[in-house]
Amino acid sequence: MIRVELPIIVLIYFFVLLAALLSLSILYEWRNQKRKKEVLRYRVHCTICASIFEDKTEAELIRCPRCGSLNERQKTGGL
């Protein structure tokens, strides 16, 4: 039988709990960033009237529903 003192058991428990919380935090942030990127993927900002709208097509030129001008789809980088 392996003898381990109580402070060592508490320390091991603390580090395991801390590692689990850190892993959950990293997973949550990763999923949150992925969700934000998906939302921004279809968002288009009109250069003429400054309205923001969604377009789920894959077209490079999108017509603004407010003013009718053609807008180029911006690439979302960094997220």
Q: Dump pLDDT digits (tens) for 11-46.
A: 999 999 999 999 999 999 999 999 988 888 888 889
- pLDDT value of residue 76: 58
**How many Å apart are CA 64 and CA 20, to the nearest integer?**
47
Phi and psi, residue 71, nearest 5°: -125, 140
The mean pLDDT value of the chain amounts to: 89
Considering only residues 55 and 78, tell me which one the structure prediction assigns the higher pLDDT.
Answer: 55
Nearest to 39 by CA among 54, 26, 51: 54
Q: Evaluate if pTM is beyond 0.75.
A: no
Among all chains, which residue has been given the structure tokens 């990763």? Answer: 30
